[in-house]
């Protein structure tokens, strides 16, 4: 059974920073074979793609609204993916989800992701 567990969310003022972490586990889960993604869902809105990183960390994608502010990274030895969020804005407030997609290249399509975490709340006050 594959588990993805997010952490690092919280309440921060506008302009502040947070680093989200997502730890993967599972006896048969080959972390290095998966693209890892971050999605978010604000209250009353649909879930949206935020960022994704390729199996080896060599390629990353971002939604336009976070480019230059968020950075995704991964540590395959520890089976962890990170999302460093800087210059946070109130519109970044959402539940952030980690997800895993079998494959080497980043993808922004939710349908490509096989496993999902439970989410961590990020709240940015103005």
pLDDT in tens, 58-80: 999 999 999 999 999 999 999 99
- Select the more confidently predicted residue: 21 or 105: 21
The whole-number average pLDDT for the span 90-108 is 95
Please tell me what DSSP assigns to residue 67: T
Pick from 36, 96, 89: which is nearest to 60 by CA? 36
Question: Per-residue pLDDT for 95 more than 90?
Answer: yes
What is the spatial distance between Cα 120 and Cα 21, in angstroms, rounded to a whole number? 10
Question: Per-residue pLDDT for 104 more than 90?
Answer: no
Question: Per-residue pLDDT for 115 more than 90?
Answer: yes
Structure tokens at 120: 């961590």
Question: Per-residue pLDDT for 87 more than 90?
Answer: yes
The whole-number average pLDDT for the span 6-22 is 98
The whole-number average pLDDT for the span 87-104 is 96
pLDDT of residue 47: 97
pLDDT of residue 107: 93
Question: Per-residue pLDDT for 85 more than 90?
Answer: yes
- Cβ atoms within 10 A of the Cβ of 115, count? 18
Residues in Cβ contact with 52 at an 8 Å cutoff, skipping those fewer than 6 apart: 35, 36, 37, 38, 60, 61, 72, 101, 106, 107, 108
């Amino acid at each position: 059974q594959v588990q993805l567990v997010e952490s690092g969310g919280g309440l921060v003022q506008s302009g502040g920073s947070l680093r989200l972490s997502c730890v993967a586990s599972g006896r048969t889960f080959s972390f290095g074979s998966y693209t890892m993604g971050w999605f978010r869902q604000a209250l009353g809105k649909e879930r949206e793609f935020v960022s994704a990183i390729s199996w080896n960390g060599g390629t990353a994608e971002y939604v336009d609204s976070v480019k230059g502010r968020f950075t995704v990274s991964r540590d395959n030895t520890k089976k962890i993916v990170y999302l460093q969020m800087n210059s946070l804005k109130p519109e970044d407030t959402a539940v952030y989800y980690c997800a895993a997609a079998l494959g080497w290249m980043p993808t922004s399509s939710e349908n490509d992701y096989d496993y999902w975490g439970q989410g961590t709340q990020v709240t940015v006050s103005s």
